[in-house]
Amino acid sequence: MQSVEVASTWPVPNVAVAVVSSGAVVGSLGDQQRVFPLASVTKLLTAYAVLVAVEEGAVEWDQPAGPEGSTVRHLISHTAGYAFDKAEVQAAPGTRRIYSNAGFDVLASFVSDACDMPFATYLHEAVFAPLGMSSTALVGSAGAGAESCAADLAAFAAELLSPKLVSVELVTEATSVVFPGLNGVLPGYGMQKPNDWGLGFEIRDGKSPHWTGLGFSPRTFGHFGQSGTFLWVDPSISAACVALTDLRFGPWAVEAWTPFSDGVRAELVGQPQG
């Protein structure tokens, strides 16, 4: 794919890109085996492990977890009321979309207790090993502490497009808006009204500005990370894209990512670019 070559112009020391369509990598750039810190793209992996736990019956969405009145569903959708980086309650559950790393740590601890094993072990056994993600590991927090390579995340993206580890219905539920209508800040892009989210997956919907492309379906879901990484899936074209860099998210990414993703999507659907 010619469109992925644009990433070679990004002002980053290293970059790896993979585009997935119909279960296969159809475009790539850079070292597909190079391991990068994922930052908050980690949340997609953590969320998928929670889906497996739900599918197995070890965890239920409406089980009490976190602060009083909160459930697993609240924690995974950033509506439990926790602050961004500490388990300090700032709002009643279900009333605000407060993006929270702390909430994901509480979520991981809950799953760990339910499954009677360290969460990093459960994540490996439930997601990484079955998908052959041999270079991926959770080395820090469940919200932002994983590392991986483009090849591994391409395998994960293929799973999101055609689930094998959990049911299609569960992935559809997880990538649909929960607690709709809640406002909140999308880190790096400001206040969004509403700031729609699924069960661990950020939903594009009508957000503006946004880190995916201008022409993307409202059903597009994924996540980006402050380490300069992203993974999006646009179900309307059954395609996904992974981009990993080692330059911290900043104005460069805001400027570069949207036209890049629009170019990738245009090439996938056969639209003229430029």
Domains in the chain: how many in total? Answer: 1
| C-alpha separations of 121 from 134, 164, 207 in Å | 13, 20, 35
Separation CA 196–CA 192 (nearest Å): 8
| C-alpha separations of 128 from 35, 90, 204, 224 in Å | 14, 34, 26, 19
| Res 274: pLDDT | 47
Let me know: does 210 contact 234? Beta carbons within 8 Å: no
Question: Residue 214: which residues within 8 A CB-CB, separation 6 or more?
Answer: 258, 262
Q: What are the pLDDT digits (tens) for 45-66? A: 999 999 999 999 999 999 999 9
Q: What are the pLDDT digits (tens) for 263-274? A: 999 999 996 554
Asked, for residue 42, whether it belongs to a domain, the answer is yes
Asked, for residue 133, whether it belongs to a domain, the answer is yes
Asked, for residue 151, whether it belongs to a domain, the answer is yes
Asked, for residue 134, whether it belongs to a domain, the answer is yes
Q: Measure CA 164 to chain center.
A: 18
Q: What are the pLDDT digits (tens) for 207-222? A: 989 999 999 999 999 9
Q: What are the pLDDT digits (tens) for 201-254? A: 999 999 989 999 999 999 999 999 999 999 999 999 999 999 999 999 999 999
| C-alpha separations of 4 from 43, 61, 195, 241, 244 in Å | 25, 38, 29, 10, 12
Separation CA 241–CA 267 (nearest Å): 12
Asked, for residue 217, whether it belongs to a domain, the answer is yes
What is the residue range of 136's domain?
A: 2-269
Looking up residue 35, the CATH number of its domain turns out to be: 3.40.710.10
| C-alpha separations of 43 from 30, 147, 274 in Å | 24, 12, 34
Question: Residue 41: which residues within 8 A CB-CB, separation 6 or more?
Answer: 146, 148, 153, 223, 224, 225, 229, 230, 231
pTM exceeds 0.85, yes or no: yes
Asked, for residue 274, whether it belongs to a domain, the answer is no
User: How many CB atoms sit inside 10 A of residue 131's CB?
Assistant: 18
Per DSSP, the three-state class of 21 is: strand
